[in-house]
Amino acid sequence: MKEAEAYILGIPKFAEKIGTENLGILMERLGNPHQSIKTIHIAGTNGKGSVTEMLRSMLTDAGYRTGAFTSPHLVSIRERFAIDGKMISEEDFLSCYRLVRKESEELAKEGVGHPSYFEFLFAMAAVYFREQKVDYAVFETGMGGRLDATNLLLPELSVITSIGYDHMQYLGDTIEKIAWEKAGIIKNGVPVVTHTQNETAGRVIQKEAEARHATWIPVEKSKVIINEKSLHTIDFSVESRYYNYYSLKLCTGALYQVDNAVTAMTAFHILLSDRLSAESMEQAVRKSLSHFFWQGRMEFIRFNVVVDGAHNEDAMERFIESAKEISDSYGGSRTKLLFAVSNDKDYDTMIRMITERLAFHTIYITELHSDRRTDTDKVRRIFQKYLGDSHDTVLVTDDDIHHSLDHAIEELKDTEMLFCVGSLYLAGEIREHFYRRKEHD
């Protein structure tokens, strides 16, 4: 397993040739596994992982054997491949890996470029889902959409979630450009469900859908009422042209997951309303939301420690909103923050948002174990800039993320809350270290 992981991690992030032509040749050699299964294709800046998992869960709870291909992984690379919520076994992972590697190396000898890191994983996922004979497979894009490896899919349904500023060096520096790249997943005649939460992005996607004669289903106008909130659950009702559900219980305290739930429910109805009874669909929706879990998204790893992978402006807005609600639900307790960020993100804006909207007694600044890490002194100076000279916040810097987390938890009182945010990689490192630490206690 270690050899396979080392090989995959050593593959360049991007292919030598931009586009999916070489990948298409590889998939042909593999027997076009992506064409032998029914798929749903999901793109977006934020929320696509949660929507993927929610829709997967609804399909599973409706009785369908359902695969999910997601990214990035937080701890194990095997997290990216799952069927009915169960991560791929090491045996199946190695079997798919060996097949894809063999064909990739054969093609390389013939002058066809080796697939990129993400293309290799996509090919493995398609092979795995074909071999396991899934009824449906939900594929999350890696980045963008138009040039993404997953865009080889000819899905039953496309879904585009929240659009915001991220990966601008690749996708463009305006919402219009980013939305156009995401809209690249829309196929001729294939319905597309959208919940972009941005009118400009919505117009771009609508135009692209119309150009491809694809039915455009926006969910922004759905009427959502929050009935009750707690630290770990949200009770809400929703009305739309497709369904009316009352008192749904979502197993999370993160308000932004309500929008993702509505998106997943709409996709579920568009996909199966002509095959399942209204009663069966409602049962699947209720069951899936009641046990929903998506790691690293406002996840309680301890009763007073919350981890969230927010790493761009749109996601940070959602984090701040939910952090306020969670803090209030916990009794308006004193809060602390642990922060680390990748150097290719707009961390200046994220830090400004945090300091303007949230008040922390202590902020622990640390670094990711990655070549994309951002120097703690640089991050500290930005916090100081926005906090000003008169702030009462204690800033603690520590380059070692594990030591920083241990220190923060040791100082944390039961009446206080610690929020950890800034990167999905941070969420992964914290989860791995915390649960390993817990095993040894």
Cα separation, 67 vs 58, in Å, equals 12
Examine residue 72 and say whether the peptide bond preceding it is cis (omega within 30 degrees of 0): yes
Superfamily of domain 2-290: Mur-like, catalytic domain (3.40.1190.10)
Displacement of CA 383 from its chain's centroid (Å) = 27
| Nearest in space to 126 (alpha carbons), one of 18, 189, 34 | 34
Q: Are 327 and 360 in contact (CB under 8 A)?
A: no
Please report, in tens digits, the pLDDT of each residue of the chain (441 residues total). 888 988 888 887 755 555 577 899 999 999 999 999 999 999 998 889 999 999 999 999 999 999 999 998 888 999 999 999 999 999 999 999 999 999 999 998 898 888 999 999 999 999 999 999 999 999 999 877 888 999 999 999 999 998 876 545 556 568 888 888 899 999 999 999 998 777 888 899 999 999 999 999 998 666 899 999 888 899 999 998 888 999 999 999 888 899 999 999 999 999 999 999 999 999 999 999 999 998 888 999 988 999 998 888 888 998 998 898 888 877 666 899 999 998 878 889 999 999 999 989 999 999 988 777 788 999 999 999 999 876 789 999 999 999 999 999 999 999 899 999 998 889 989 988 887 766 555
- HSE of 410 in the Cβ direction (CA atoms, 13 Å)? 7
| Nearest in space to 298 (alpha carbons), one of 239, 349, 258, 345 | 258
SS3 label, residue 10? coil
Q: What pLDDT shows up at residue 19?
A: 59
The H helix count followed by the E strand count for the chain is: 15, 17
Pairing of strands 66-69, 136-140: parallel
| Nearest in space to 428 (alpha carbons), one of 117, 94, 70, 167 | 70
Hey, how many other C-beta atoms are within 10 angstroms of the C-beta on 386?
14
Q: What angle do CA 196, 197, 200 make, to 5 degrees?
A: 75
Q: What fold does the segment set 299-440 form as a domain?
A: Protein-Tyrosine Phosphatase; Chain A (3.90.190)
Q: What pLDDT shows up at residue 231?
A: 84
Q: What pLDDT shows up at residue 425?
A: 87
Q: What pLDDT shows up at residue 326?
A: 85
| Residue 207 phi, psi dihedral angles, 5° rounding | -60, -45
Q: What pLDDT shows up at residue 64?
A: 98
Q: What pLDDT shows up at residue 441?
A: 57
Pairing of strands 223-229, 234-239: antiparallel
Q: What pLDDT shows up at residue 374?
A: 86
SS3 label, residue 194? strand
Cα separation, 167 vs 202, in Å, equals 19
Write out the residue limits of the CATH 3.90.190.20 domain(s) in the chain: 299-440
Cα separation, 169 vs 178, in Å, equals 10
| Residues 6 or more apart in contact with residue 89 via CB below 8 angstroms | 78
Model-level pTM? Answer: 0.90
Cα separation, 418 vs 307, in Å, equals 9
Cα separation, 151 vs 130, in Å, equals 17
Cα separation, 339 vs 121, in Å, equals 30
Q: What pLDDT shows up at residue 368?
A: 87
Write out the residue limits of the CATH 3.40.1190.10 domain(s) in the chain: 2-290
Hey, how many other C-beta atoms are within 10 angstroms of the C-beta on 255?
19
Q: What pLDDT shows up at residue 439?
A: 57
Q: What DSSP string runs through 302-361?
A: ETTEEE----SHHHHHHHHHHHHHHHHHTTS--EEEEE--BTTS-HHHHHHHHHHH---S
